Structure 1
Amino acid sequence: MSTSLTKHIASNGVATLTLNRPERHNAFDDVLIVELTEALQALADNPAARVVVLTATGKSFSAGADLGWMKRMASYGEAENLADARKLAQLMHVLDTLPKPTVAAVQGPAYGGGVGLIACCDMVFAAPEAMLALTEVKLGLIPAVISPYVVRKIGSSHARRYFLSAERFTPDTALRIGLVHEIAPQDEVGPLAHSWAAQLLNNGPASMQAAKQLVAEVAGRPVCSELNEHCAQRIARQRVSPEGQEGLTAFLEKRPPNWVTQ
């Protein structure tokens, strides 16, 4: 049994996925990509898991592509590289669209695909030691598969700079450009991420899923009558949904809603 990824679901519903290849700086290979994708898909379908925390062991969060994996890819033809790239694309898509909140605890450096994982998470907490970089062009490559998520997070101007320069940048810079939400001391990053995960349990599970979908639906769209109508229909459906009715009733009755465990 592989130990490159560990999984744990606490009794309160917080699920933790931990990248566990510290000797490889938690770099991706084809095995880890499949393991992480399958683990996320399983959590999506598991009602016992309500929030997902993504973290890592060792000094690095993720160094991107594993050297041995890159050597194998270098010998592949275009068709084999395409199949390989599609697996990584699936991982990013599954993480980005997971119907549950995702919280990243970034305790160390993240490069390439590691930055992609961060960009796909809903909330990101990083340590001062968590240097970041998109170094693909140094290898004659491009950050293609992760680009939709990174560009959406940091914008095209910052993406042009960091995609082209391949320079390392600090968590402070990542905070400024929108990739990271908060910086905390290294030994506090994990507890902070889990603290926020626990706070998210106070919110309606279906409403958080719908809110996450709402952001994807309205981001980048011009405000127009069509969008306004879509949003009006969205809140109307949510108000009459079982969770919406329970939340409103609980508020009026001054009691916790049924998804909050005492």
Structure 2
Amino acid sequence: MSLENTNGSLETSFQNTIAIVQFGHPASNSFPSELLNRLTTEINDLSRNEAVSVIILKSEGSKAFCSGASFDELLKVENEEQGLEFFSGFAHLLNAMRNCNKIIIGRVQGKAVGGGVGIISACDYVFATPQSDVKLSELAIGIGPFVIEPAVSRKIGKTAMTEMTLAGHEWKSAEWALQKGLFSALCKAEKLDAEVESFAGRLSSYNPEALYEMKKIIWEGTETWESLLFERAAITGKLVLSDFTKSALLQFKK
């Protein structure tokens, strides 16, 4: 199954009981709202698909994994309602990933920024390469990683999340991300797919009911996210309207 247009691409393929979901966008695999919504719908559909036991989430190309929110779309936000709607897209996706009945394996081939780090944090197990540096640069454009913060903090702890956020001009290495728990394993780029497929194959041989019960345990204590992430989206949606943010976004685009 493949969906593609100017707002990015989304393709799902199947290997036995493994679903492989690949998203892409010409701008470093960034997310306009339509692509966010399509990915959320796909995760929800796969959660209900009894023929699927494991999901692999990946992005296209060999460079960036995900550069977060679409700057072009952020610049088009004209009021708080539009801002809330856009950032709620990330809230819906993170909630879909944590509520999904299936274990989600992240395949991270390159750098991730902002919302991309949030998506990685919402995966249950993540393979990455030494080129997979990460950064939370939201403060530099006048907003903050408010929507994704619960997912990031849950994965690497509040202290490491704070370090990433306040030093948002710095890239954190893939090795740093591995040590903090954002990544589960590092492997050379040429071995990434083989490692991911081998692990997914092993997981898919396990009792689906046991995997489902394990998924629920992994995400215990996150029930407040059903409302919390949207409260955070409202904060970001308001901040994105500031003159500081509009100016910073234009500078970043240049």
Pairwise same-fold verdict (TM > 0.5): yes
Please give the residue correspondences for 1:189-204 in structure 2 after superposition, counting only pairs within 5 Å. Answer: 189-204=192-207
Displacement of 1:218 = 6.7
Q: How many residues align?
A: 215
Give the aligned partner of residue 86 of structure 1: 88
CA distance in 2, matches of 1:105, 1:24: 19
Give the aligned partner of residue 146 of structure 1: 148
Give the aligned partner of residue 173 of structure 1: 176
Displacement of 1:48 = 1.6
Please give the residue correspondences for 1:83-122 in structure 2 after superposition, counting only pairs within 5 Å. Answer: 83-122=85-124
What fraction of aligned residue pairs are identical, expressed as a percent?
30
Displacement of 1:97 = 2.1
Q: Larger relative contact order (C-alpha < 8 A, sep ≥ 6)?
A: 2
CA distance in 2, matches of 1:63, 1:215: 26
CA contact (8 A) 2:113 2:134 kept: yes
Letter in 2 for 1:172: E
SS at match of 2:220: helix
Give the aligned partner of residue 41 of structure 1: 44
Indicate yes or no: 2:166 matched with 1:161. no
- In the superposition, the TM-score normalised over structure 1's length comes to 0.79
Displacement of 1:68 = 1.2
Letter in 1 for 2:186: I
CA contact (8 A) 1:55 1:190 kept: no
Gaps of 5+ in 1: 220-262
Q: 187, 190, 194: which is aligned to 1:187?
A: 190
Please give the residue correspondences for 1:45-60 in structure 2 after superposition, counting only pairs within 5 Å. Answer: 45-58=48-61, 59-60=63-64
CA contact (8 A) 2:98 2:219 kept: no
Displacement of 1:217 = 2.7
Give the aligned partner of residue 260 of structure 1: none
CA distance in 2, matches of 1:139, 1:50: 39
Spell out, residue by residue over 1:111-134, the C-alpha distance to the aligned partner (whole angstroms, 9 max, x if none). 100001100001101011111101
Spell out, residue by residue over 1:37-95, the C-alpha distance to the aligned partner (whole angstroms, 9 max, x if none). 0111110111121100011112111011122112113xx21122112222220111101
Give the aligned partner of residue 71 of structure 1: 75
CA distance in 2, matches of 1:141, 1:99: 32
Indicate yes or no: 2:3 matched with 1:7. no
Displacement of 1:192 = 1.1
CA distance in 1, matches of 2:219, 2:39: 23
Spell out, residue by residue over 1:132-189, the C-alpha distance to the aligned partner (whole angstroms, 9 max, x if none). 1011001011001111100000101111111111121111000011100110011211
CA contact (8 A) 2:29 2:59 kept: yes
Please give the residue correspondences for 1:242-253 in structure 2 after superposition, counting only pairs within 5 Å. Answer: none
Spell out, residue by residue over 1:177-225, the C-alpha distance to the aligned partner (whole angstroms, 9 max, x if none). 1100110011211221111110001211111111121233379xxxxxx
Spell out, residue by residue over 1:10-30, the C-alpha distance to the aligned partner (whole angstroms, 9 max, x if none). 2x2110011122x21110101
Larger Rg: 1
Letter in 2 for 1:6: E
SS at match of 1:169: coil
